[in-house]
A and B are shown apart, each in its own frame.
Chain A
Amino acid sequence: MNAVSRWIGERLPVSGRQFKELTNEPVPYHLKRWWFALGGTPAYLFIVQIFTGILLAFYYEAAPATAYRSVELITNEVAFGWFIRSVHKWAATLMIAAVILHQIRVFFTGAYRRPREINWFIGMCLLMCTLLTGFTGYSLVFEQLSFWGATVGANIADTTPLIGPFLKNMMLAGSSYNEATLSRFFILHAAVLPVTIVMLIAVHITVIRLQGVTEFRFKDEEGGTPKTFNFFPDHLYTELIIGLILMILLSALATIFPATMGPQANPLQTPEVIKPEWFFYVAFRWLKLFGGTFAILSMGFIIFTMFTWPFIDNWLRKHTKFQEASVWVGVVGALTVISLTVWEAVARH
């Protein structure tokens, strides 16, 4: 046994004590509260996406002539194909919801403030990547929603001043949807974006480890309450419970509401009603309300503001009397997003 330990120790020079120290980072006590422990949820779901995505990629064929048929094959014929595809679809939905909820929590608790501005910035990048992955994902099925969603998306990008035509050309691999478009979407969805997300998550977690998690104290906590508790096994158990609940939820959703297929993409037939997936409802309604270049520029401005909010918030707190401006901006922002999403959901056109 000693010989084996020695052999491993020579090649992996980390002692048990060091390993324990590395993994047993003290965790702030407020993480005992469940809703503060949800930051790991998107990561869980991302792992599910990678796992199910690889399985789906075994059968998926990224060409207009074969894409729809290959998804049909996965859904109807491949063993467990329907389940894997359904889990992938539901995990995507939950992941986007989880990222948004995590961001809302960070925003309202001011956890993005100095010195954590960079991590907020990385979080925003992760949000953008997640949304893009969702967009490219539903484009792959090559049903009517996929085709027309991609076409509408590209046309929206086209209205961006100066770089619009370039963006559209990059998205579609040409001036309109063509044979090469789908493989471009697939590479983005299955390689470029996931790798980017992995790297961003790595940096995100590293920064958290370097800076530590923002600590909160709650009024009901007694003076004697310890400031921290052990990551292992206490917090790990919490994360495990959350993970298992997620897996059960995904399993239930996939079996009760399995992923279906809409009509195959038909470039000659424009559907009367084109709606993107729910997470783009807000942007879609915004575009309908304001239209064209203004909508694009205003959305760009809002996203820019979101990225730079830690600095804006800092300036407001330093130079104005609006110390809690972020709360009110957050409330208005969240209500706007919810209202526009619901509006688009209930509107027929």
Chain B
Amino acid sequence: MTLETKRVIIAALGGLFLLSLVFVQRMETARKAEEAGLRAPTIAVPSDSRECVDCHAEENPGIVAHWTGSTHAERGVGCYSCHEADREDADSYLHHGVQIATVVTPRDCANCHDAEADEFAQSHHAAGGNILASLDNFLAETVEGVRLEFNPHSPTPGRAFQAVNGFASANSGCQQCHGAKVALNATDGGVVTVDDLQPDEDGIPTNLDAVGRIARDENGRPLINSRTWPNTGIGRLNLDGSKGSCTACHSRHDFSPRRARQPENCGKCHLGPDHPQKEIYEESKHGIAYRDLKDDMNLDAERWVLGESYSAAPTCATCHMSGNIRNGGRITHDPGERISWTNRPAVSLAMDTDINHGIVTDTDNETRRELTHDSWSQKRDRMKEVCSNCHTDAYVNSFYKQYDDLVVLYNEKFAKPGLQIMNALLANDLRTATEFDEEIEWSWFYLWHHEGRRARHGASMMAPDYTHWHGMYEVAERFYMELIPQAREIAQHAAATGRRSAADAVNAVIDDVLARPEHIWFEEGAEGQAEAIRREMERRYGVPNR
């Protein structure tokens, strides 16, 4: 190589090096400007969403502002990427020259996040809409409301209401967590739902007659029934046949991972008298540590792995969904993958699940083995992987022993006997098949649905006060002071009105329950036990000064 050539190469490389320093300078200036709030983070508005952003920045600046701060914006995923629709989609319409749909479903998200969507589709979350045919829904639509519209019985000064929506409690209550069955208004005054549209595997309606009945405004935009939209319930039943709503956890339009990692996110639904997981978590040492150490949680990390990105405290997401170093950082969108008991029903069940993720309820061990695709112990092992990031195996195993003990105590002492008594009343025609029309049905509902769950959930997440005072204490009181006396009274009334055999049958069940060692104190007294406890206390702590 000649000297002249070398000089040229040096000049070129020197220029390139200077250019790289200029680039570094540009990066630094941009970073400082962003930090100082002088300029928005770098975003890429894709060309197909340019018009949406320009217009909605004027019309709904909040939407655009949220999106602007999102990872989607940084990576060039725009409005149209998610709202794009086929002409054949039931809810699609032409909007400024592009075919879009208002409701974004997991099927849309699956275009990019297919693995997450698959996991979610198999989860109990996705099946949250099944409540639409449950006891809870009966409460909201019949007991609290009514399954029809009725006329107001007197005027509301200043407002002119023509009809009372009997579904209002279900619409604004149950369905905002569990998910609504999204409906479009129909030209015949009814509604069109997924049941009518019968979508194929691509989500395209196969019942064109139903599509033809969809009511549209003057711009051709389908009218979404206001009882079912807005709705971000986790098990929403969408028009394209998909179930769920990713925005239930990943709030639109910023889809913040940071928010989804925080317990407040789950607390939209997992709280209250019947399943106060959020409050239970707050009472637990986990929640206490989280409040104290939130700044150390690295919540903005792109990859949020317990033991790698943070160790300060666990949140709901940490234990039930997020990755940890023990499992190679694998995230799941099926929170049931690590839950070994279901404490939802009156009697807790081991979470053996079949190939369709349904709980195996068969009692025969051989059949259970055949049906079980993912056993409760496999699920527990997955949770233990999480626990073991911060606790020793012995500690975790002992905790699970305590938890199992509490669930089994509740099941055996109160839940199964309570169910037995309620079934005996029903079988002997001493209560109606209609729920909530008799006092004992409310008592029983409170016992298992509220207090019993509080006790079990309290034990599952180490909240002693929820386990005891808000839980087992109230279960016991409800059982001994309400359920048993009410059942006795029903039997007594039956005997007095000539239904002796029914009364005897129910009394026999109650007698059998109360004759068990764990209940015997109730009718035979427990003075001996009280005295034994007193003596033991004196032995330990001495005679108290009076």
Contacts and interface: CB of A to CB of B under 8 A. Distances in A.
A221 to B, nearest CB: 15
Nearest to B11: A244
A147 interface: no
A327 interface: no
A251 B20 contact: yes
12 contacts: A79-B32, A80-B28, A83-B28, A233-B3, A240-B10, A244-B17, A245-B13, A248-B17, A255-B20, A263-B298, A263-B310, A271-B307
A255 B27 contact: yes
A292 B307 CA distance: 28
Given A83-B28, A237-B7, A241-B6, A272 B326 contact: yes
Nearest to B13: A244
Interface in B82-119: none
Contact of A237 (B10, B20, B23): B10
> Which one of A244, A254, A255, A271 has the greatest number of beta carbons of chain B within 10 Å?
A244
B21 interface: yes
Interface residues of B, dominant DSSP: helix
Interface string A279-321: 0000000000000000000000000000000000000000000
Contacts of A248: 13, 16-17, 20
Leading 6 A-B pairs by shortest Cβ distance: A244-B13, A251-B20, A237-B6, A247-B17, A248-B17, A83-B24
A225 to B, nearest CB: 14
B345 interface: no
Interface of A: 32, 79-80, 83, 233-234, 237-238, 240-241, 244-245, 247-248, 251-252, 254-255, 262-263, 266, 269, 271-273
B23 A255 contact: yes
B190 interface: no
B308 interface: yes
Given A248-B17, A251-B20, A263-B310, A271 B325 contact: yes
Contacts of A241: 6, 9-10, 13
Contacts of B122: none
A278 B24 CA distance: 27
B325 A244 contact: no
A282 to B, nearest CB: 24
B14 interface: yes
Given A80-B28, A272-B326, A252 B20 contact: yes
A269 B7 contact: no
Contacts of A79: 28, 32
B333 to A, nearest CB: 25
Contacts of B7: 237
Contacts of B14: 244
A8 to B, nearest CB: 29
B10 A266 contact: no
A254 B24 CA distance: 9
Interface of B: 1, 3, 6-7, 9-10, 13-14, 16-17, 20-21, 23-24, 27-28, 32, 298, 307-311, 325-326, 390
B308 A263 contact: yes
A251 B23 CA distance: 10
A255 B24 contact: yes
Nearest to B32: A79
A273 B307 CA distance: 10
Contacts of A262: 308
A187 B34 CA distance: 36
Contacts of A245: 13
Contact of A273 (B16, B311, B325): B325
Interface residues of A, dominant DSSP: helix
> Which one of B21, B32, B309, B310 has the greatest number of beta carbons of chain A within 10 Å?
B21
A244 B18 CA distance: 10
A238 B6 contact: yes
A103 B310 CA distance: 41
A241 B14 CA distance: 9
B6 to A, nearest CB: 4
Nearest to B15: A244
B391 to A, nearest CB: 11
Contacts of B3: 233-234, 237
A258 B57 CA distance: 34
Contacts of A80: 24, 28
Nearest to A86: B24
Contacts of B308: 262-263
Given A237-B7, A238-B6, A251-B24, 9 more contacts: A237-B10, A240-B10, A241-B13, A251-B20, A252-B20, A263-B298, A269-B311, A272-B326, A273-B325
> Which one of B24, B27, B298 has the greatest number of beta carbons of chain A within 10 Å?
B24
Contacts of A237: 3, 6-7, 10
Contacts of B20: 247-248, 251-252, 255
Nearest to A264: B296
Contact of A244 (B1, B10, B298): B10
A245 B3 CA distance: 18
Contacts of A244: 10, 13-14, 16-17
A233 B3 CA distance: 8
A272 B16 CA distance: 44
Contacts of B10: 237, 240-241, 244
Nearest to A272: B325
A248 B15 CA distance: 10
> Which one of B13, B23, B309 has the greatest number of beta carbons of chain A within 10 Å?
B13
A255 B23 CA distance: 9
Nearest to A348: B328
A38 B56 CA distance: 59
Nearest to A243: B13
B32 to A, nearest CB: 7
A337 B6 CA distance: 36
A266 B389 CA distance: 13
B133 to A, nearest CB: 46
B299 to A, nearest CB: 14
A240 B24 CA distance: 22
A244 B20 CA distance: 11
B433 to A, nearest CB: 55
Nearest to A77: B35
A173 B24 CA distance: 40
A271 to B, nearest CB: 7
A266 B307 CA distance: 11
Nearest to B324: A272
Contacts of A271: 307, 325
Contacts of B17: 244, 247-248, 251
A15 B56 CA distance: 76
Contacts of B21: 251
A106 to B, nearest CB: 24
Nearest to B326: A272
A262 B325 CA distance: 13
B330 to A, nearest CB: 14
B394 to A, nearest CB: 17
A246 B86 CA distance: 52
A115 to B, nearest CB: 32
